[in-house]
Every structure is written in C-alpha cells, then in structure tokens.
Amino acid sequence: MSYAKVLCATLVGVGGHLVEVEAYLAAGLPAVILTGLPDSALYEARERVRAAIVNSGAPWPSQRISVNLLPAYIRKSGSAFDLAMALAVLGGADELPMGPLAQVLVIGELGLDGTVLPVHGVLPMVAGAARVGVSRVIAPAANAAEAALVPGVRVMAVGSLREVIQFARGERPLGAPPTPIPPEPSGPVPDLVDVAGQSMGRVAIEVAAAGGHHVAFFGLPGGGKTMLAQRLPSLLPDLDDEAALEVTSLHSVAGKLAPGSPLIRRPPIQAPHHTASVAALVGGGSGLARPGALSLAHMGCLLLDEAPEFSGRALDALRQPLEEGQITLGRSQGVVVYPARIQLVLTANPCACGQAGDRCECPPFAKRRYLRRLTGPLLDRIDIQLELFPLKAGDLMADSSMREASQVVAKRVAAAREASAARWGKLGWSTNAAVPGRVLRDPRWRMPAGEMAALRRQLDTGRISARGYDRILRLAWTAADLLGNDRPGASELDLAIKLRVRAVDDVRF
C-alpha cells in the first residue's frame, strides 16, 4: 500500500476542525512534499518526523513522499500534526497496519528522539472532532487529562512514537489519561467582609454581580475602589458545563492551562498592568492572532485598575467587544473570532497625583486630560458609574463582624440570577445585562408611566443617553431581582439612576 490516512485537527480561533493527513509514496527522488496550506512550523515537521521515525526503530522510506492536509482551504499551523504525519508515512510504506488507527484522532508534537510532546489547544481540537463523530483520541500524556474533559470520548495517552507503533501492531495497549489534578490554592480569596464602609459601593458590586453589569468606581486612593473590584468574582456563581468547557478551551488555546488541570469552574479574572498593549489586551500576534486578556476573562471579569493610565487606543479597543460579546481579529493568515462576554470593572483616581483638596497641585486642564482617556462612548457602555468618598475613621474602626461576607452576598446574587434566568431564559438570555433595550421598552415589560418620570427627566435634560436609558432599566430589573420583586418599581428605578450618575447616597439592601 502506498497510501494512508490519519485524522488530526487544527484550530481556527477557539474552534477545532478535523483534518485528514494523507500520505502517498511513489517512485522518484527521495523528498517530502507538503500541501494543504501548511505554515512554517509544519514545513519544519519534515525533519522532526524523519528523525523521530528512525530513532523509534522504523525505517525511513527512500521514496517521494507527498503529505496532504485536508481540507486544503483551511490554513494549518502549529506542531500538533507531527505524530499524525509520522503514522501516515509509516502506513503508506506498509510498515504499520492502519486498521487500529481508523477514525482515531491523533495529536502530538514529536521530538527528534520520538518523544511525543504536549501542544496547545487540545481541548477544542478534541471537542471539534467529537462533534463530527470521532470518539477515540491518541494524545500526549501531558495533554491526556485535558482531552478527557470532552464527554463521550475515549482518550489514549502516549509518551513516544514507538508506543503508538507497538499499539498499531497489536503488541501493547495505550495508557489511560491521568485523573485531573485540582489546581493548588493561590492564597486566600478576597472577601467582601474586608471592605470597610462604602455601603453604596457594596450595593453597586452586588448589583453588578447579580445582573452581569459593567462597573466603574471613581474616587481618591485608599477609598476601597480596587478592593471592591477584586471581590466581584467572589460573588459570581460557578460556571455551568457548557461555559466551563468554553472557558477552558480558551485557556488551552492560549497555553495557560497547567498539565492535568480540570475544567475551569470559577469565573476567571484578568487584571492586566496599565502598560499592556492593545494586542495584549484584546489579542494579537503574527500569523493568526492569539487571545488576549479580554478573551481570557470570558465569562468572568476584566479588571482595569487605574484605567486612565492605560493607553487611549487600548481602552477604545474595548468598545465593540463590550457590545457584541466577542472580538474579531484580522491578521496576515486570516480572521479569527474569540468570545469575550465579560464584566468590565474600571477604577480611576480624579487626577494623576491622586491627592485631594489643597494637596492636589494638578491644574484643571491636567485633570480633564487625565480622565479624558475614559472617553464618553466607552463610559456610556458601563452600566454602573459610582463616585466613592474617602473613608472616615469610624468606618475603619467599626466592628467587622457587622459586615456581610462574600458568601452571604453570593447567595442573594445566585437567587437573583435564577430569577432573571427564569424570566428571560425562553427568550435566549440569562442575565439582565444581556437583555436588549427594545425588549425592556416593550409594553409587556415596560414600567408604568408614573414610575418612569425620574428616568424621563434624566434623558430629556441630556444627563444620560439613549444607551444609558436602557442600561438604567436593566439595573432596575436587577435591583428588583435582589429584593425578590417580580417587577421593578419607582424605588428600584431611583437606585438604578443613582448607580448610573455617580451618586453617593447611603443605600442598603
């Protein structure tokens, strides 16, 4: 037999696509010809595959070898094809029976000695193959636990090309994947009980968690802005199976998964430094773009502490993803789309020096220029915008046992999310922040005209935009869910307006 075929997979964005690796051996000058839109890493695979086959005890065929990657219209990149190419070449040379490898997904990079090395993106590759009916996978031992996260798939772990050759010849079975290892605790989880005072800030972060709203805190240093922002993930419920698989796939593509890690069940938080570039924030790189902090925070929180210190271009790059829940990146090798359904959390000082009163030496134009990086279009997309006043001595000395812990608040948040999911689930949404404004303005869901007077005044006087009008309605529905009410009333709408226009009145649930 001069022809053999082995299944592999490639990534397009965060999606896995099945690829057929064909090998055809013919008479002619010895050479290896690659077709099917391979990248430079795949061209280099010719030497890796040859050395790995020879060092695994198999002969290298002295023929003209054509290796084709189907479908040819999808660009293939990376080193995950090495193992499949080696097996296809051996099968075409009649050195390997192909029956045991039929309809088996084969993934792995080869070392020159035949060692099978781990690769990035195994989870979405396996998930993509499973969607088209592939139920058996051969994967590097370091990636086997990750591959086994896909339900309904039998994973065989390998450490070397020699092991796969022996398996195909019926000489030995392949090993089972190891049990996923829970990640080591990174330290104490930030708890809301640590936040002194700032009752309105606590309400704001609870409303943000319950409704999936973006939030921005303004105020002098030391007032608790960053502490409140860092505690938002502690109030969020665990991810369901579908969301956990999607989030884990993103981290796998980015190479952020530790070997043997289980599904990511907790909403992720990304807190990039203010020197982060546009590419680091939203994704980028040469060839096909890789996910940035925005996509790695998918289904979780993106915290931009001291947001005005970020570049204006980086901040403005967030505007479209905040509306669409995804980021589209075009590069020389194609366009990729990464999911980016996040909760954006911003904090900002009033000026660069961060001082108050007479201690601040910043001229007015410097203060305006400092906050101008947070442009109107960006801020208009942030539901909650709250000004926090400095703490008093009484706030710091108050008994901490009187403050609610994250665990207590998280129960209210979970109940509110269940209420919103029950209301909007049949329409395709789960949180109030995701509901389009046209739906909330529909007669079925519209609030009585008498209770809308305050909100109408805000719009008619130009204090809020039409987008802000809709976002206040969403906040009002979230407040009603936290209070256990079926619909929002005038009091919930009043709270929503205060959360939107940077009010600081003392409000408690």
CATH number at residue 210: 3.40.50.300
**Are both 60 and 103 inside the same structural domain?**
yes
Query: Domain residues for 156?
Result: 3-168
Is 459 among the domain residues? yes
Tally of structural domains, the chain: 2
What is the reported pLDDT for 289?
75
Task: Find all residues with CB under 8 Å of 330, minimum gap 6, and list them.
Answer: 289
What is the reported pLDDT for 415?
94
**Are both 97 and 229 inside the same structural domain?**
no
**Are both 157 and 197 inside the same structural domain?**
no
Q: Count Cα neighbours of 94 within 13 Å in the Cβ-side half-sphere.
A: 5
Whole-angstrom distance, CA of residue 138 vs CA of residue 176: 10
**Are both 226 and 139 inside the same structural domain?**
no
What is the reported pLDDT for 49?
94
What is the reported pLDDT for 116?
96
Nearest to 441 by CA among 459, 425, 426: 459
**Are both 60 and 205 inside the same structural domain?**
no
Indicate the pairing of strand 215-219 with strand 116-117: unpaired
CATH number at residue 116: 3.30.230.10
What is the reported pLDDT for 509?
43
**Are both 158 and 199 inside the same structural domain?**
no
Q: Using the 3D structure, point to which of 168, 184, 219 is the last residue of a domain.
A: 168
pLDDT values of the chain reduced to their tens digit, one per residue, 509 residues: 689 999 999 988 888 899 999 999 998 888 899 999 888 778 888 899 999 999 999 999 999 999 999 998 888 888 899 999 999 999 999 999 999 999 999 999 999 999 999 999 899 999 999 999 999 999 999 899 889 889 889 999 999 999 999 999 999 888 888 776 666 555 667 888 888 777 888 899 999 999 999 999 988 888 788 888 999 999 999 998 889 988 998 888 888 887 767 788 889 999 999 999 888 898 877 666 788 899 999 999 999 999 998 988 899 889 889 888 888 887 766 788 889 999 999 998 888 777 766 677 778 787 778 878 888 888 889 999 998 887 777 767 776 667 788 899 999 999 999 999 999 988 889 999 999 988 988 888 888 888 888 888 888 888 888 888 899 999 999 999 999 998 898 899 999 999 988 654 444 44
Is 12 among the domain residues? yes
Is 81 among the domain residues? yes
Q: Return the DSSP state at 431.
A: S
Exposure string of 99-109, with b = 16+ CB inside 10 Å and e = fewer, is: eebeebbbbbb
**Are both 387 and 240 inside the same structural domain?**
yes
**Are both 252 and 144 inside the same structural domain?**
no
**Are both 75 and 133 inside the same structural domain?**
yes
**Are both 122 and 235 inside the same structural domain?**
no
DSSP state letters, 452-482: GHHHHHHHHTTSS-HHHHHHHHHHHHHHHHH
**Are both 314 and 447 inside the same structural domain?**
yes
**Are both 205 and 123 inside the same structural domain?**
no
Whole-angstrom distance, CA of residue 122 vs CA of residue 108: 9
Is 186 among the domain residues? no
Whole-angstrom distance, CA of residue 491 vs CA of residue 493: 5
Q: Using the 3D structure, point to which of 133, 168, 203 is the last residue of a domain.
A: 168
